[in-house]
Amino acid sequence: MTFTEFAINNIRRNINSYLGYFFSILISSSLLFSFNMFINHPDLDISLFDDYIILTIKVTTIIIYLFLFLFVFYSASVFLKSRNKEFGILWTIGISKRQVKKMIFIENLVMNVFASVLGILVGMVFAKIVLIAISSFIGIEPLKFYIPIKSIGVITLYFILISILTSYFIYFVVREDKVIKLLKGTQRPKLEPKSSPILAMLCVILLVVAYCRAVTVTELELVNRIVPVTSMVIIGTYMLFSQLSVFVIKKVKDNKVFYKKNINMLCIANLHYKIKDNTRMFFLVTITSAVAFTAIGSVYSYWKDQINQVELAYPQSIFYATEREKSNGIYTGTYKGRVELLESLLEKENIPYDKLEGEIKVVFSKNENEPIKIIKESNYIQLAKGKGLETIDLKNNESILLSKSNSKNNDKIINIDNRGIKVKHASKSVMPAYYSVYVVKDDFYNSINSDYIENKFVAIDTKDYMKTLDISKNFEKICKNDVGYKFLSKSIIVDYGKVAYSVLLFLSIFIGLIFFVTSSSFLYNKLYTDCQEDKKKYRNLNKIGLTYKEIKKISTIEISTLFLLPYIVAVVHSTFALLALKNALDVDVASSSFLVMGSFFIVLFVYFLIVRQNYLNEIKGELID
């Protein structure tokens, strides 16, 4: 038997332990192949997307490749640690360092290449369906099937590179100078898990502060709070599993009446060690799940609520205005001619419409850092009535801010024409979100003495604004070279948003699937490793009277903790993250978050039932009755 055959036989003998690792690579490579096949499709014109969409696609690709590398490395290292006794025997009988490296390399190479090639084949089988589904999902023409030579080469080379790198680094997990430790394998007595009350309290403080800062965030503070709040949550999560959970279980053990009741002693003692031993796994699964829930939930909320958000941000079907903020601004084309063109295009398609024309003054006040845009109260009343909105009464020293900002600071004072004007806020704006405009009394508007520029605008409304899509696109083509004008079409914004948000939702779902598959593999690998130890433990306990029914109850509690504890913590993290989004950007996230988290829970619960049954079957086979 050659050394290569010896390494391959190792895989055959440990096939059950490799199954979770194998299938996770298979599914991951299949998903990654489908993703590459889509973004590299010759008929997909990525240049049609905005720069931030293209950047998001690139960042998503980098995240996936890096995460899969870390996953493979971590999974392989955990698996090799479970074979400590085997490596100890090999060192004892004289295996060399070079042979150990070779054996680890062959095992990893065979497993990674075989799983990735099979994953590519699975991806090829379902490629046509996947391409049609993705195309339909993001709202583009169905992409045709093709043989993605580039994607096949990239995926295969990637997993070969992973196997080489992981083999090199993992070799240092198994050291020749620890032969005795390796021979003892996992049979060495474990020290009782310890925790620090100070660190446990710090964990609570970090999470509470992070949650409070998340739910109190405003739109202006959102960007500045993301990094510190996320950092606190990450550190707090690790300490939750390494310190707080161990501290709480220790306190439960101190309650002797409860601890010694029925099988509580076995359950609590087992959890005390398992949670501490699985700290890193819990941490990784929690963070990846929280990222997936938050990403999918937030993007799905925007995707589902897109039309409502556009209608709130852009009240009129079409808004066209001169746009000049400097006295030497240059215009091309004529405002009157462009308005007549819009009307003629609408009339040609027999689309009834309402039209309102007005002016916006850009006032250059010495006491303000930026120019202030103002409109007449009469224009505001006409625009509000056109949308069926109630108007706000104004006094001579008051103004109304029409803005996309959620700020409700009614104590703000602005200085226009050397007069302090108190600001009110409209609950719903009658101007496009592009503008931050103040409504002032007509007399005051007409009596401005400060330097200003007056821009004209026309607001056109129709009953079904999506019917204006072709008209708006034609108008944009005709006027694409015009300078000094702003054209806002609700139908174009909705049409573009469907594609943009669909692409973002597709990317977030894809990352979520990768995270879920790899997290499930973490759980399977760890559970299989523990099962080999638990067989002996439960067999001995069974000999002294512990029944299978009691073992089943203990095992169910332990397995459900492994599966549900990271999920519950991830759900809490995601809930506060989505609440921050709701408070800052006024987006309804409740139904979306329930759907996303509920869907993941159903899949996780089914996976839990399957793994639990396999685990119990393994344990039951070792019992004496």
Is residue 30 situated within a structural domain? yes
Between residues 203 and 86, the one the model is more confident about: 203
Fill in the amino acid letter for 345.
L
Q: How many CB atoms lie within 10 A of CB 386?
A: 16
How does pLDDT run across 233-262, given as a tens digit for each residue?
999 999 999 899 888 888 888 888 887 787
Is residue 343 situated within a structural domain? yes
Is residue 170 situated within a structural domain? yes
Dihedral, 332, 336, 338, 344 alpha carbons, nearest 10: -160
pLDDT of residue 469: 92
Q: What is the mean pLDDT of residues 113-135?
A: 86
Between residues 11 and 43, the one the model is more confident about: 43
pLDDT level of residue 408 (50, 70, 90 thresholds): low
Residues 163 and 17 grouped into a single domain: yes
Distances (CA, A) of 463 to 42, 340, 525, 527, 583: 40, 20, 59, 60, 31
pLDDT of residue 279: 85
pLDDT of residue 470: 92
Q: What percent of the chain has pLDDT over 90?
A: 17
Q: What is the mean pLDDT of residues 414-430?
A: 83
Domain boundary residue, one of 439, 457, 487: 487
**Distance, CA of 497 to CA of 489 (rounded, Å):** 12
Q: Which strands sit side by side in the sheet containing 485-489, from one edge to the other? A: 413-416, 419-425, 398-402, 437-440, 372-376, 354-364, 451-461, 318-322, 485-489
pLDDT of residue 405: 57
Is residue 442 situated within a structural domain? yes
Q: What is the mean pLDDT of residues 289-298?
A: 86
pLDDT of residue 177: 45
Residue that the structure tokens 């139904």 belong to: 591
Q: What is the mean pLDDT of residues 45-68?
A: 80
Residues 8 and 145 grouped into a single domain: yes
Domain boundary residue, one of 441, 461, 487: 487
Assigned token pair, 512? 């979520």
Q: What is the mean pLDDT of residues 468-482?
A: 89
Assigned token pair, 619? 């344990």
DSSP designation for 238: H
Is residue 511 situated within a structural domain? no
| Rama region for 314: left / alpha / beta (φ>0; ψ in -120 to 50; rest) | beta
Dihedral, 280, 286, 292, 294 alpha carbons, nearest 10: -140
Q: Is it the case that residue 176 has pLDDT exceeding 50?
A: no
Q: Strand 437-440 to strand 372-376: parallel, antiparallel, or no bridges (unpaired)? A: parallel
**Distance, CA of 567 to CA of 551 (rounded, Å):** 24
Q: Is it the case that residue 418 has pLDDT exceeding 60?
A: yes
Which has the minimum average pLDDT: 63-67, 182-186, 465-469, 605-609?
Answer: 182-186
Q: Is it the case that residue 185 has pLDDT exceeding 60?
A: no
pLDDT of residue 549: 86
Fill in the amino acid letter for 540.
N
Assigned token pair, 526? 């760890």
Q: What is the mean pLDDT of residues 264-280?
A: 80
Is residue 516 situated within a structural domain? no
Q: Is it the case that residue 573 has pLDDT exceeding 90?
A: yes
pLDDT of residue 409: 52
Between residues 361 and 165, the one the model is more confident about: 361
pLDDT of residue 74: 72
Between residues 321 and 141, the one the model is more confident about: 321
Q: How many CB atoms lie within 10 A of CB 314?
A: 23
Write out the residue range of the structural domain in which residue 159 sits.
1-189
Between residues 268 and 444, the one the model is more confident about: 444
How does pLDDT run across 505-539, given as a tens digit for each residue?
888 888 888 888 878 877 777 777 777 778 888 88
pLDDT level of residue 1 (50, 70, 90 thresholds): low
pLDDT of residue 80: 66
Q: Is it the case that residue 367 has pLDDT exceeding 80?
A: no
CB 113 within 8 A of CB 20: no
Residues 181 and 41 grouped into a single domain: yes
Q: How many CB atoms lie within 10 A of CB 594?
A: 11
How does pLDDT run across 541-552, given as a tens digit for each residue?
888 888 888 888
pLDDT of residue 171: 64
Q: What percent of the chain has pLDDT over 70?
A: 90
Q: Is it the case that residue 143 has pLDDT exceeding 80?
A: yes
Between residues 459 and 323, the one the model is more confident about: 459
Is residue 258 situated within a structural domain? no
pLDDT of residue 233: 94
pLDDT of residue 438: 92
Domain boundary residue, one of 144, 173, 189: 189
Find how far residue 421's CA is from the centre of its chain.
Answer: 43
Closest CA to 244 of 193, 210, 287, 203: 203
If one counts the domains in the chain, the total is 2
Mean pLDDT of the chain: 82
**Distance, CA of 75 to CA of 12 (rounded, Å):** 18
How does pLDDT run across 596-622, given as a tens digit for each residue?
888 889 988 988 888 888 888 888 877
Continuous segment of H or E residues that includes residue 581: helix 548-585
Is residue 279 situated within a structural domain? no
